[in-house]
Amino acid sequence: MYEKYWQQMGEKTTVVIPGWKFVSYFSDKRKLCWFLEPEFASSIIRLHKLVGNAVTENRHIVVGTGSTQLFQAVLYALCPPNASEPIDVLCAAPFYSSYPLITEFLKSGLYKWGGDAHKFRLNKPYIELVTSPNNPDGLSRQAVVNQDQGILIHDLAYYWPQYTPISYTADYDIMLFTVSKTTGHAGTRLGWALVKDEEIAKKMTEFIMLSTIGVSKESQLRAAKILKVVSDTHEYHAKHDFKECDSFFEHSYDLMAKRWKQLRNAVNQNKMFSLPHFPSAKCKFSGNTFASQPAFAWLKCEGKIDDCESFLREHKVLTRSGKHFGDSTKYVRISVLPRDEEFQQFTDRLSSITLMPPIVI
């Protein structure tokens, strides 16, 4: 979805890297996260300050190969090495389907997947993931367990003003962000964590050192440039440099609004499907009052259809079943971020579905 915008920006985000640059493992040996490129760090701070979605003061920034690596680093950092049993990792269902897979795949002695946070009744240490806005259902969330032995990780991948109103400045102990959802550059594989506690930030850095000896500097430089241009499009919009282009979040907000309108129209064509409803709130960044327009649609098959994924597959719409997200097969998750043509085809197909079986010739 974001590709067209970046094409419009032309050479503004092009990065040229000569062969002699970035030869070393190190970015700044004196810093806690010694493989974090200073340019990337300053572009992150500038963007958070502009948008107002997260506090950066008195925080350590840890860079990772996507927030996927940071999630693993933070689990490693939070678990005491000598505990008698693995600590439970929880998230309220429906949860991002990769959490249980990542938590379980190495059969760690440090942590294990504890499932739906709503069902956690034990009086022992736990880690709770709070994804807000949530993947897959787009709702804004808070912790649900609320016991004193819990540690929270806030995955704020989607807390950006094209998806949801920025109604508060997040000030949590551990916050995860990713370039993938901020600007669309998933392939750059960069995420960052804002971490209050120095020891946790050090252990996360240690994890990344042991797993990949740092994070690609080429990627960091490219991401730094892209985030810088995002900030520039807002701060200098009135100036001649960026007059010919929309500012990034305004452009992306408009696109998301258009897509959600199109999607809701398609769903309203018949009574077979429903979508979540989101409350409106004022966005401190844009000044607009609006309801969330998430990156994913959490579509429910109403009535007698129990397996929504199979039903939609028969109608040539490929989705991911709710069962992967710890929820019912009556739900599916659909991306709202593909290219225009694909999204158009998807809404066309959705609106043409009737309860009659498709005719196969």
Judged by the rule CB under 6 A, the positions of this chain that interact with ligand PMP are 66-68, 96, 131, 135, 155, 157, 178, 180, 186, 191
What is the nearest approach in angstroms of ligand PMP to the Cβ of residue 324? Answer: 12
Strands 150-155 and 174-178: parallel
Place of tokens 């607009």: 288
Please, which residue, 32 or 186, has the CB nearer to ligand PMP?
186
Of 81, 193, 174, residue with least CA distance to 128 = 174
Please, which residue, 27 or 72, has the CB nearer to ligand PMP?
72
Ranked by CB distance to ligand PMP, the top (closest) residue is 66
Find the length of the chain. Answer: 361
Please, which residue, 180 or 319, has the CB nearer to ligand PMP?
180
What is the nearest approach in angstroms of ligand PMP to the Cβ of residue 76? Answer: 16
What is the nearest approach in angstroms of ligand PMP to the Cβ of residue 345? Answer: 22
Taking residue 64's Cβ as centre, other Cβ atoms within 10 Å add up to 30
Please, which residue, 133 or 165, has the CB nearer to ligand PMP?
133
What is the nearest approach in angstroms of ligand PMP to the Cβ of residue 134? Answer: 8
Q: Which residues does residue 299 pair with via DSSP β-bridges, in sequence order?
A: 332
Our CA angle for 225, 187, 297, nearest 5°, is: 110
Our CA angle for 55, 60, 66, nearest 5°, is: 90
Please, which residue, 96 or 260, has the CB nearer to ligand PMP?
96
Containing 274, the helix (H) or strand (E) segment is strand 273-274
* Distance from C-alpha of 56 to C-alpha of 39, rounded to nearest angstrom: 15
What is the nearest approach in angstroms of ligand PMP to the Cβ of residue 23? Answer: 26
Is the distance from CB of 250 to CB of 70 less than 8 angstroms? no
Three-state DSSP string of 279-296: CEEECCCCCCEEECCCCE
Please, which residue, 135 or 347, has the CB nearer to ligand PMP?
135
- How crowded is the C-beta side of 113, counted as CA atoms within 13 Å? 18
What is the nearest approach in angstroms of ligand PMP to the Cβ of residue 294? Answer: 10
Please, which residue, 114 or 311, has the CB nearer to ligand PMP?
114
Please, which residue, 134 or 231, has the CB nearer to ligand PMP?
134
What is the nearest approach in angstroms of ligand PMP to the Cβ of residue 115? Answer: 17
Burial of 57 from C-beta contacts in 10 A (0-12 / 13-18 / 19+): exposed
What is the nearest approach in angstroms of ligand PMP to the Cβ of residue 144? Answer: 16
DSSP 137: T
Is the distance from CB of 64 to CB of 179 less than 8 angstroms? no
